[in-house]
């Protein structure tokens, strides 16, 4: 119902819901940022040898999907008309899910991630909806930003990726009479 207040250093950061014109104007920059934001990241798509090399492309395609739709589904952060961050959102009848974000590495010291999540959260509250978000279990940097905003952990689970290299004998684990 509320966001913890925080004063940030004065920067020329502008955050807004991307218009269709923004999506056309900044398309290339956003797609590049979607890829580059996850080249050094190690998450669910980086674990498997099947998707590891494709991981940055998966994120690039993910942002491209949001650019190809005309509804209010993308929040952008700009400094001097240069895209320095984005947040994709999915709006439903009850909630606004804060889905995928990317921040330009050259601007990480400005707390842009926390500020863009704050904006997305306020967007949800302004539309009388709850805001939801999720991340990898061990992604502590983003979780810290969430706690600064006022979020509290609600639910967690481990996701295990198995491959077919190890094929256990199911009879060992199941009592078959």
Whether 164 has a pLDDT exceeding 90, the answer reads no
DSSP string for residues in 15-42: EEEPPHHHHHHTHHHHHHHHHHTTTS--
Whether 48 has a pLDDT exceeding 80, the answer reads no
Q: How confident is the model at residue 42 (pLDDT cuts 50, 70, 90)?
A: low
| pTM for this predicted structure | 0.78
% residues pLDDT > 70 (the chain): 73
Higher per-residue confidence, 175 vs 76: 76
Find, among 134, 85, 90, 147, the residue nearest to 110 by Cα: 85
pLDDT, residue 147, reads 81
Residue 118, SS3 per DSSP: helix
Higher per-residue confidence, 12 vs 157: 12
């Amino acid at each position: 119902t509320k966001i913890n207040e925080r004063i940030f250093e004065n920067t020329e950061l502008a955050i807004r819901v991307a218009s269709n014109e923004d999506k056309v104007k900044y398309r290339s920059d956003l797609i590049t940022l979607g890829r580059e934001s996850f080249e050094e990241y190690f998450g669910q798509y980086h674990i498997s040898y099947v998707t590891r090399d494709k991981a940055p492309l998966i994120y690039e395609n993910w942002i491209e999907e949001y650019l190809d739709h005309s509804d209010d589904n993308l929040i952008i952060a700009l400094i001097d008309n240069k895209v320095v961050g984005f947040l994709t959102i999915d709006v439903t009848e009850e909630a606004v899910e804060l889905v995928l974000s990317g921040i330009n590495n050259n601007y990480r010291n400005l707390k842009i991630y926390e500020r863009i999540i704050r904006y997305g959260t306020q967007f949800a509250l302004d539309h009388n909806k709850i805001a939801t978000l999720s991340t990898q279990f061990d992604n502590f940097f983003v979780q810290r930003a969430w706690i600064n905003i006022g979020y509290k952990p609600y639910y967690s689970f481990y996701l295990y990726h198995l491959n077919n290299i190890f094929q256990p004998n199911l009879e060992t684990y199941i009592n078959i009479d």
